[in-house]
Amino acid sequence: MYANLTLFKQYLGIPASDTTNDNLLTMFLNSAEEKINNLCWVDSFDEWTYNEDIEARKVYATSRWYEVYLKNKPVQEIQTINWDEYAWIHGTDYMIIYDRRIIFKEIQLWSFWILSIWYKAWYNRNDDWVDRLPDDLKLMEMMLASGMRQQHNYEWVSSYKLGDESITFGSRGNMTPDDQYFSFTTLLNKYKNFNLPV
C-alpha cells in the first residue's frame, strides 16, 4: 500500500477506533495500488534495483558522451554496467536529466552488442524511517479506494475509461465525479510511464 489504513480512515472520516471494516478497507487500498501500477506501466513505485538491456545501436553517442533513456524514473543511481560495478560519481562522470535520461562521460560500449545497466529507481520508503513516496501517489490510491468503497455500497457511482483501464469514482462531499476524474487524471499523468519508440 502507498497510503496506510490510518490515513485512509482519516480521508474517509472514519474514527480510528472504528475497526469494523479494516480488512475491507485494506483490500480496497491494495486493489487501488495495483490499478495505479497498471495504469502507469510499473511494477511498483517503491525503490528497487532494475536491470535494462539496451542494444548498442540504441545508445546515442558523440565524441564526448553516451546517452541512454531508462524506463523507470526517477533514477536514483547507476550500480553496474555490463556486470562491472559502476563506481563513477553522479554529477561528475554521469548526469541524470529529466529523471530517466542518463548521460555518461565514458563507457566501454564498443566491446558489447548489449549495454546491460543495473540501477536504482523510484522512491526510498525506509530512509531514516522517512517515507520518500510523494503524497500525491498516496492521494491517488485513496481516491481510487474510496471509489471502490462507494461502488461496493452502491452510492453515487459514475464510471470513466482511461485507455484500456476502466475506473469507477463515487462522489465525495461536494466534489462531483467529473471533478474527481479530472483531479485523478491530473495526478496520474505526472507518473505515467511509457516505452520510448525504437
Q: Is residue 197 part of a domain?
A: no
Residue 63, pLDDT > 60, answer yes
Top mean-pLDDT range of 13-22, 61-70, 140-149, 156-165:
13-22
Mean pLDDT over the full length of the chain: 78
Q: Is residue 198 part of a domain?
A: no
| 52 shares its domain with 117 | yes
- Give the sheet arrangement for strand 84-85, strand by strand: 48-55, 114-121, 75-81, 84-85
Distance CA 125, CA 76 (A): 13
| For range 44-60, the mean pLDDT | 85
Torsion (CA) 4, 10, 14, 17 in degrees, nearest 10: 70
Q: Is residue 13 part of a domain?
A: yes
93, with CB counted inside 10 A (0-12, 13-18, 19+), is middle
Please count the structural domains in the chain: 2
Q: Is residue 196 part of a domain?
A: no
| 53 shares its domain with 116 | yes
Distance CA 107, CA 142 (A): 43
Could you tell me the pTM of the whole model?
0.64
Distance CA 195, CA 153 (A): 38
Top mean-pLDDT range of 9-13, 64-68, 127-131, 189-193:
9-13
What are the tens digits of pLDDT across the range 88-111? 667 777 888 888 888 887 665 545
| 103 shares its domain with 160 | no
Q: Which of 76, 97, 121 is the last residue of a domain?
A: 121
Q: Which of 25, 26, 43, 23 is nearest to 34 (CA)?
A: 43
108, with CB counted inside 10 A (0-12, 13-18, 19+), is exposed
DSSP-based three-state secondary structure for 134: coil
Q: Which of 6, 41, 76 is nearest to 193 (CA)?
A: 41
| 136 shares its domain with 39 | yes
Top mean-pLDDT range of 84-88, 115-119, 148-152:
115-119
pLDDT grade, residue 155 (50/70/90)? very low
| 149 shares its domain with 182 | yes
Q: Give the domain range for residue 154.
A: 5-44+130-191
| 23 shares its domain with 53 | no
Window from 68-72, 101-105, 121-125, 151-155 with minimum mean pLDDT: 151-155
